[in-house]
Amino acid sequence: MPMNKLCWIKIIAINGLLSVVLGAFAAHLLDGLLTAQRSETFDTAVQYQIFHTLALLGLICIDDRLLVTRWKKYAAVFFLLGIILFCGSLYLLIATNITQFAIITPVGGLSFMLGWIILLLAAIRDK
């Protein structure tokens, strides 16, 4: 069964929009309000969000005949989970200053890594 590309395009569009909005918010409204370290953390979250939004876009553009669709779906889910957990936890950390949110961040990073590993395995395995 092929990926529901229309659903993924909507997810990608929302993530792309959020990346730009949050980046602009940080550049124009948070400038001078955050410490240098917090500002760097926010920038890291925005960068990882946009990079993995573009990775999702590239993933759905890969011809379904090249990769096992199930593996593509798993990679996409792990990229999205990484965005939510990694980037989301950093955004919450900045917004609330509750340092316990940083505990979630490595789980999001692991999700990103699993997405890339699954994509590699999908490319290695014969369809």
Over residues 46-65, the pLDDT tens digits come to 999 999 999 999 999 998 88
Show me where the domains of the chain are located: 5-124
Q: Which residue has the tokens 């960068």?
A: 47
Q: Is 65 exposed, middle or buried (0-12, 13-18, 19+ CB in 10 A)?
A: exposed
Q: Are the beta carbons of 46 and 105 closer than 8 angstroms?
A: no
At residue 1 the predicted structure's pLDDT band, cuts being 50, 70 and 90, is: low
Written as six digits, the tokens of 61 are 């553009």
Per-residue pLDDT at 95 exceeds 60: yes
DSSP symbol at 126: -
Q: Which residue type is seen at 37?
A: Q
Share the mean pLDDT of the chain: 91
